[in-house]
Structures are given as C-alpha cells and as structure tokens.
Structure 1
Amino acid sequence: MATELKVQSLDRTFDILELLANEQNGYNLVQISEKLDLPKSTVHRLVGVLLQREFVRKSQDTNRYRLGPGFIGLCSHYLNSLELKTESSPFMEELSESTGNVVFLAIRQNDKMVYIDSKEQINSLRKYAIIGQQKPLYCTSLGKALLIGLTDDEIRILLAKEPFEKRGPNTHMNMESLLQDIRECRRRGWALDDQEAEPAINCVAAPIRDYRGQVIAAISTSWVLAQHPEMIPEEMAEKVKRQAANISFNMGYTGGTTR
C-alpha cells in the first residue's frame, strides 16, 4: 500500500511539472488543482517539495507557479553531452583518418572516466560496446587529461580512496607519483598513458574546455606499440591537441585554436 501511494505521488508530481512546462505564465494553486483534478491539499504538498528543490518557483506578485532553475542543473550534463558529441564528431573522424588509430571521447563522472564516443576506420562492434564503460582516472591518458583542470589538492580529495592497482608496467602506484605526472601534463597540455592502463599500449589525450575555460571532456588516440613503432607520443600529441582545441573552440572556449 505504501509503495502504491509513493508511485501515485510521483505520477502526480510529474503531472504538475508537465502542466507548468506548457504554460509560460504558470498557474496558481487553484488552477493546478482544477486542471489536474487533484485536491488542493495534495497539490500544495507536492508543490512544496518542488519549491524546496527549486524545480518550481512561485511569483510573489501573482502567486503563480512556474518551472524553476533546478532543471538547469539537472539537464545541463545531459545537454552538454549531446552538444559535445555533435561538435566533436567531425574532428574525431579527422583525427582517426590522419592517424589511422581509434579515437575516444570521454568525460569525468566523479572519480571515474567514462567513454561517450569513439571513431575508427573500420566498422566494429567494439565502438558500441565501449560507450558508457568506466575506467580509472589515474592510469589512463583520458583520465589524466580530465584531471588537468583540477588543482593538486582537488585531485588528492577526489582520489583519496583510489587503490592505485597495477594494470601495466608503468602504472602510477601512489598519489605523489600521479601528481608529478599531472603537473607535467598541465605544462605541455596533453597526457600520456605509456603502458599504464595495460601492457603494450600507448595512448595520448588532450583536454576539451568550455566557454568558461573549464575542462569538460578529453579526446585521445591509442595504438599498439609493436604494430606502430614509428608513432612517437610527442608527434601524436600535437595532432590530438589540435583537434581538442578545435572542439573546445566550438564549445565556446576562446583561449585559442590551432585551426
């Protein structure tokens, strides 16, 4: 019975939100009650919760309720992700064509790196399988590129519970080793995974910034060392940085582009 009441309350709450979303000027308590055929006491209780969470705001002049700023924060990451993928796609394709390698796009979710897109020259099921996968920040080039925008203290707090497991011959095994690497990443503007996430693989990544200059994502390319001994990280990094700068420019960053 209690579960049914909770579901009913949730359903009614969404009814209220959908009603307010379709009326720019909003509705007062009586109007909401009449349009949804709900008791005023029920509407008052549900709207009170929405007010506390800023999903709804009340005009003191008209006593009308309208959608509030809570939805901006709720939807911003999702909308940014959609825009990011759209703006990144052609540059990722170009990077994949120029290097012949797979290219990845990732964002940070709390203390993990998450793949949100990839490009490669052959059609592969791997592209779809990897989207949404999480990996550690400390041992991947994408993860380290995402950490570039944080201070040393912020990184210490973020990764305070990180176990630093050995995944490749050169994996960082403690915080200070990682921070020393991140400082170098900040200086040169790109990150290297030299057999840190797994043996025999190199990967370089560069951060993508938004209009505020904040790091919101990272782009990378990787290759198998035995198959491509001619690929030099520093040379590959210039190509990755160029496309990261172009994507950043399209995302509103005015710190400069190399294109």
Structure 2
Amino acid sequence: MIQSVDRAVRILTALQGARRMGLGELATQLELAPSTVHGIVRTLLDHGMIAQERDSGRYRLGPATLRLGNVYLDTLELRSRSVPWAEDLAARTGVAVRTAVLLAGVDRDLPERDVIVVAHEPRPGGGRQMNEVGIVVPAHACALGKALLAFDDTALPETDTLRSMTGETITDPARLRDELAAVRAAGIATEAEEAVLGEYGVAAPVGDHSGAVVGAIGLVVTQADWPLDPAAADALRATARSISRELGAASWPPAVTERPAASA
C-alpha cells in the first residue's frame, strides 16, 4: 500500500462522513501530525478534490469528486442495463426501484460494508421525489445489501457487533448469517425498518458474465404496502434475472464468492 495515497483517500472518506472538518479534526481522526495532513490537504485542494470555506477555514469535498462520480456512473454497465428494466418494474409494481453496488473500500473504523445507490426510478405518480443516487446505506441494514452479502462471502463483516440504525437493525453477525442463508435459498432479500423507520424493501442480486454478483436491484415499499404482493416479488426476481442475462450471466441467482481459507 502506498502510504501517501492511503492517507489522501482516508481524508476524502473522513470528509464524506463529516461533511466539513478543520485541519485539527482531520489530524485527530487520522491520528497523524497536523503538518502531515496539511501537506496532503494542499495537494487535494490544488486538484479540486476538496475545497476550503472562506469564513470558517474548514474543508469539504470539492467539485472534482462530482466529476469523477459522474464518470463512474456513465461507465457502469450495471446502471445502463438496469435503467429500462427498472422503469418497467416501477410501472408494474407501483413502487420506487433502486439499483446498488457494494462500496469497494472498508472504513478503518467501521468493519461493515456499505452499499451505494447507483440508479433510482421514482414511484410512478408519486409526486415530487428526491433523487436517491449516491445514498449510502450499511449493507447489513438493507435488502439491497443483504442481496449482495448473501452471494459474496468475502464482503461479510468480521466483527462482533454491527451498527444499529434503528431498533430493528440486525446487529448480531450470527443472526445476519442465518438470514443471508435464507436469501441464497430464496433469491430475494427483505428489510423492515432496519435502516430507516417506516421504510420496507425487497431486493434481488444481479450477476454478470463472471458468474459473480455485481449489484442488486430492489423495491422500496411503505408500511401501507407491506407485506409486498407476491406478484411484485416475482416481478423483481424476473427483472434481476433479465439484467443478469444482459450482463452475460449464464444462470441466476449468481454463484457465491467464497472467502479464501485461512492459512494454517
């Protein structure tokens, strides 16, 4: 690992979580000398990756991060393939549709993985709705995340307890593993107010030509529409299967990516 690059990424990650931070706050969180952090910050400023507020002197993410994010979305085949299918799924079920992927990195202070929404199809006829692209949710607390974790054993958290988002969040890793086994058997994951109160959801994994899971697509359901109509769940499975087929998958659900065995 290249130390300077690692530190720069950690600064960007810290600003992502806290929105705005001073130099001292960054140095404390990263456990580095302020002079070390200052040098990296100046470089990130020069490249537009972070910006400094004139009044407070605090730092926040810069406009260049948006440009990188847009390029990522434009080149993500899962997103481009899922959009027309998500539009059809939303029209058939009457609820909003999200497509998500696992975030690649793991926060040093948070051993769990997160998912990030890369496409969002609003609920048909639902009036004004917020665009949810870019929303980050702990994987263990949402249906999209469970659909991904169930088929990627390498992404399972190695921790004694999981973050609690609501009183319904699964915080016991053993209980999570039991639920993920059920997801693998059914090909579909569920959530009930585990990430956001009043929000329910179902999701299914999406695979590609490699046979591995590369994302998940899910339905966002209100309490009034829960439990979900079985026909909507069947439509979700069919959609995940169709997207997987377009991405070159030979079968669905995807194969489980196993964690390498520990060395003796």
Band of TM-score, shorter chain: 0.5 to 0.7
**Corresponding residue number in structure 2 for 1:160:** 158
Q: Which runs of 5+ in 1 are unaligned?
A: 1-76
**Corresponding residue number in structure 2 for 1:94:** 88
Amino acid at match of 1:164: L
Alpha carbons of structure 1 residues 254 and 179: separation in structure 2 relative to 1, 3 Å: same
Cα distance in 2 between the residues matched to 1:254 and 1:114: 26
Indicate yes or no: 2:98 matched with 1:104.
yes
Pick aligned residue for 1:250 from 221, 232, 246: 246
Contact persistence 1:87–1:250 (CA under 8 A): yes
Contact persistence 1:148–1:215 (CA under 8 A): no
Give the C-alpha shift of residue 220 in structure 1: 0.4
Amino acid at match of 1:224: T
Pick aligned residue for 1:221 from 219, 227, 235: 219
Give the C-alpha shift of residue 125 in structure 1: 5.3
Higher Cα Rg: structure 1 or 2?
A: 1
**Corresponding residue number in structure 2 for 1:180:** 178
**Corresponding residue number in structure 2 for 1:140:** 142
Cα distance in 2 between the residues matched to 1:246 and 1:162: 37
Give the C-alpha shift of residue 235 in structure 1: 3.9
Amino acid at match of 2:248: G
Question: TM-score, normalised on structure 1?
Answer: 0.61
Cα distance in 2 between the residues matched to 1:256 and 1:186: 11
Contact persistence 2:208–2:214 (CA under 8 A): yes
Q: Which runs of 5+ in 2 are unaligned?
A: 1-70, 105-112, 254-264
Give the C-alpha shift of residue 208 in structure 1: 0.5
Give the C-alpha shift of residue 161 in structure 1: 4.8
Give the C-alpha shift of residue 228 in structure 1: 1.9
* Matched length: 173
Give the C-alpha shift of residue 169 in structure 1: 3.7
**Corresponding residue number in structure 2 for 1:126:** 130
- 1:173 alignment partner, SS class: coil
Give the C-alpha shift of residue 80 in structure 1: 8.9
- 1:145 alignment partner, SS class: helix
- 1:240 alignment partner, SS class: helix
Give the C-alpha shift of residue 85 in structure 1: 1.6
- 2:191 alignment partner, SS class: strand
Question: TM-score, normalised on structure 2?
Answer: 0.60
- 2:76 alignment partner, SS class: helix
**Corresponding residue number in structure 2 for 1:196:** 194
- Structure 1 segment 1-150 matched on structure 2, within 5 A: 78=72, 81-110=75-104, 111-120=113-122, 121-122=124-125, 124=128, 126-127=130-131, 130-150=132-152
% identical aligned pairs: 24
RMSD: 2.4
- 2:140 alignment partner, SS class: coil
